[in-house]
Amino acid sequence: MKTRITIWLMCVAAVLAWTGVACAQTATSGPMVQLPSGDAVWDLTGEWDAVIENYGPWARFGTYPDVMRITQTGSAFSGIRLKDNPPPVAGRAGVHSLQGELEKNGFKHVEIVVPGHDGISRGYVSPSTGQISEDGNKMAIDNGLYIRVTLTRR
């Protein structure tokens, strides 16, 4: 009986050790920011190559590249575009284009900011969903209606 218990405990210890090693290998390796709460979130600060894809009712505006500069304070972030959008799309360089808040596992919320008709003023904020890659170097943000933004860290 003692032998069975010993073997069973060794098997449990081996499984726990293997699980610990497997989890350590999948830990995030990208840039992180430590929050006052002790949680760590992605550090999105910097310039990102962006591909803006208009679809559905906005498909006529097409797909085009841009560059976004993201600034982050704690878990809150915002992004501005660094290039003018191609005609006929409104959106000038320097216009606020993205905003949101991060949590431990990715986005707490994210919003695409659509420019006004003049391309300079803020039109409206479009609640969106998004994913951050495992290494923190790629993001996909979609409002589910007509615009998708894919960002890749430069």
Query: pLDDT tens across 114-136, in order?
Result: 888 777 777 899 999 999 999 99
Residue type, 122: R
Inter-residue contact 112 to 98 (CB < 8 Å):
yes
Residue 119: its pLDDT value, please? Answer: 74
Residue 142: its pLDDT value, please? Answer: 98
Residue 56: its pLDDT value, please? Answer: 97
pLDDT band at residue 85 under the 50/70/90 scheme = confident
25 vs 97: which has the higher pLDDT:
97
